[in-house]
Structure 1
Amino acid sequence: MDYSIYLSGEIHSDWREQIESGIKESGLDITIYSPVTHHESSDEVGVKILGEEEKPFWKDHKAAKINAIRTNTLIQRSDVVVVRFGEKYKQWNAAFDAGIAIGLGIPLIVMHDPALTHPLKEIDGAAMAVTETPQQVVEILKYISR
């Protein structure tokens, strides 16, 4: 069975690459989607395309809306959404992506350190699986692809 997955969440570690590598090594037929993970490109897209802004709010507003076109479209195309919450930064956008997936009825796999269990209890409660490592995500994908 072939799947498409959307990988949302923190951008400061190589978890996406680990999942992609595990998928390839396992010979799974899975298409991977993700947001633009180059921080500056994502933050600057609005003003680069639509023009400069005096206030940071409007700069962020433009970028968020353009990024949302990509994110919403790719989440809707996905069979499964994987959201990774890192420890260093609050990933409000990742929580929002999880909510979109839940609202659309797309199965959600959440990945985070056990120390984040309490603050993420509502998201964990709505997820189909809560994992700690990229390898656990790959193992789930292998299982459902049989």
Structure 2
Amino acid sequence: MRALLQRVHHASVAVKGETIGEIGPGLLILICAMQGDTEAEADQLAAKIAKLRIFKDDADKMNLSLKDTGGGALIVSQFTLAADTSRGNRPGFSPAAAPEDGRRLYEYFSKAVAAQGIPVANGSFGADMDISLTNAGPVTIWLDTAS
């Protein structure tokens, strides 16, 4: 699985102008299931994200995790994280999981993050979404279970 994490002051996702998910301080997690991914990768990624020390402590050092801060996670499916740009100018998305597997793993991943004690809000799988955020830092981190 691939994830792009953005540390945020707040973030929200809307479909057709209606807000369907929002968080205060925490992480916006753009997530993509890749071909061959299983629940094991989702569990591994959820645990890593919950414990990743990318929030500032009282000494202004990145020493705190999402679990430590009590922040939330806005989780949005984004198959374009699977983009293959190695040939030509048009990205290919064949490395992404098939839609039915992608949806299943997206939903499983969201539950795995929530099981870590993190408040979770979600986007809508496969929908055209508008995402608003205020990046804190900025801090943006790429994670891939394949590497």
Q: Give your verdict on TM over 0.5.
A: no
Q: Structure 1 or 2: larger strand share? A: 2
Q: Which has the higher relative contact order, 1 or 2, with Cα contacts under 8 A spaced 6 or more apart?
A: 2
- Structure whose alpha-carbon radius of gyration is higher: 1
Give TM-score scaled by structure 2 length: 0.29
Give TM-score scaled by structure 1 length: 0.29
